[in-house]
């Protein structure tokens, strides 16, 4: 559930046979001595070290390119035991979930089972109504590229009082149905008329998940498992539903719950239904790299649907970032164009990025949600600075 958008422009993106086609040959990089690291990864490692110096307990990042796989880490996975972070550690990826959901919908379009120009009301009759909201005038495409205007339920004051702050400790295990999340959003007027502007809204992808269920008769999680996770052999990736515990191996996740850094809480366990199809996925860095390399490499979508996914709209006044269908395009300071998504959820900040040719990928995670610059690591990896 990415709650940040392009608030910091340069930080705002960014996370079987098919698997064999997109997995690079691994190599083991020494855990110490910067001179032993390939020159192209030194800046990324320095940015990880800087994040830990800024207060992030631990960072893990895995990069893959034509030369192999590099794993960088800094800090710890668990502040109590001091265990270091590992490439195989799973973490909550937040809004990187949106890229999975968009891929499923685009596959359904390729199969002729829906059109991105269908209205929301066509598939969810009467669901989006009231306070100026009307699903008869909102298309599926507008859900996926955040031009629907629908209010983001995570910005609702009542919702925030329950979960953003100390209230999290009392409500972390609550179950939230998609209908409840949508109705929380529809208590507010839309941001703008559909298609006239852009504002990030998690509600869009809660509705997208509901559409998948209506079209297929299966949950979005079941469809993503069948269409993406199993074909790509993404064994560390899951849609946990209401399961609060993290699958092993994993570290801990930390948050200040909106307070000061001198009081940090362990927020690892939570009911991910609060994020649902907008942000519930758990994964690890190698799986995220494999997914994005397969996606941009044309292994998951026909050319027409991949072209639709990578057709972007402007993000406010940002000169170097734009949003497609569950994918963001960002031009880095060195001119390199990368595609992917960020993900922010309680105690976890993630990025997964890949070049358009699918040859160079990076997926990383900070086990904190209040400090650190994830895009500095990306700049280091792709630009060497």
- Which residues are catalytically annotated? 95
Q: Round to whole Å and give the CA distance between 362 and 257.
A: 28
Return the axis-axis angle of helices 178-186 and 202-216, rounded to nearest 10°.
Answer: 130
Question: Angle at the Cα of 167 (from 163 to 168), degrees rounded to 5?
Answer: 50
Q: Any idea what DSSP says for residue 34?
A: G
Query: Helices marked H in the chain — which ranges?
Result: 17-22, 39-53, 97-110, 120-123, 140-144, 157-163, 168-171, 178-186, 202-216, 220-224, 285-296, 303-309, 374-383
Helix (H) or strand (E) holding 363: strand 361-366
**Residue 56 dihedral angles phi and psi, to the nearest 5°:** -70, 125
The SS3 call for residue 342 is strand
Q: Which residue has the tokens 């809004």?
A: 95
Helix (H) or strand (E) holding 282: strand 282-283
- Cα–Cα distances (Å) from 35 to 30, 42, 45, in that order, read 10, 9, 12
For the four alpha carbons of 208, 92, 147 and 362, in that order, the dihedral sign comes to negative
Bridge-based pairing state of the strands 68-75 and 91-92: unpaired
Nearest to 202 by CA among 252, 274, 133, 269: 274
- The contacts of residue 295 (CB under 8 Å, 6+ apart) are 99, 103, 301, 306, 354, 358
Q: Which residue has the tokens 């009307």?
A: 134
């Amino acid at each position: 559930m990415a709650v940040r958008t392009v608030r910091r422009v340069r930080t705002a993106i960014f996370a079987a046979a098919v698997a064999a086609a997109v997995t690079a040959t691994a190599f083991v990089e020494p855990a110490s001595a910067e001179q032993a690291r390939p020159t192209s990864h030194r800046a990324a490692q320095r940015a990880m070290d800087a994040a830990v110096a800024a207060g992030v307990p631990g960072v893990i990042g895995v990069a893959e390119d034509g030369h192999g796989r590099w794993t960088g880490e800094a800090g710890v996975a668990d502040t109590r035991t001091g265990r270091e972070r590992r490439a195989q550690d799973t973490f909550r990826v937040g809004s990187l979930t949106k890229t999975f959901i968009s891929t499923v919908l685009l596959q359904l379009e390729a199969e002729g089972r829906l059109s991105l120009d269908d209205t929301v009301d066509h598939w969810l009759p009467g669901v989006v109504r009231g306070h100026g909201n009307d699903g008869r005038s909102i298309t599926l495409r507008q859900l996926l590229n955040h031009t629907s205007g629908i209010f983001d339920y995570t910005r609702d004051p009542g919702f925030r009082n329950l979960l953003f702050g100390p209230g999290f400790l009392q409500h972390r295990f609550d179950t939230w149905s998609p209908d409840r999340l949508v109705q929380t959003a529809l208590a507010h007027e839309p941001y703008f008329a559909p298609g006239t502007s852009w504002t990030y809204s998690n509600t869009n992808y809660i509705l997208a998940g509901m559409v998948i269920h209506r079209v297929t008769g299966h949950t979005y999680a079941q469809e993503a498992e069948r269409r993406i996770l199993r074909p790509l052999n993404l064994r560390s990736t899951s849609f946990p539903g209401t399961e609060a515990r993290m699958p092993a191996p994993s570290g801990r996740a930390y948050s200040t719950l909106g307070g000061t850094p001198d009081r940090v809480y362990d927020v690892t366990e939570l009911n991910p239904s609060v994020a649902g199809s907008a942000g519930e996925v758990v994964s690890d860095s190698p799986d995220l790299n494999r997914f994005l390399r397969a996606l941009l490499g044309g292994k998951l979508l026909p050319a027409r649907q991949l072209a639709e996914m990578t057709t972007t709209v402007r993000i406010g006044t940002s000169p170097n970032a734009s949003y497609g269908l569950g994918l963001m395009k960002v031009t880095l300071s060195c001119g390199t164009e990368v595609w992917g998504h960020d993900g922010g959820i309680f105690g976890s900040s993630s990025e997964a990025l890949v070049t358009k040719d699918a040859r160079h990928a990076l997926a990383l995670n900070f086990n904190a949600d209040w400090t650190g610059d994830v895009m500095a690591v990306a700049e280091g990896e792709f630009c060497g600075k």
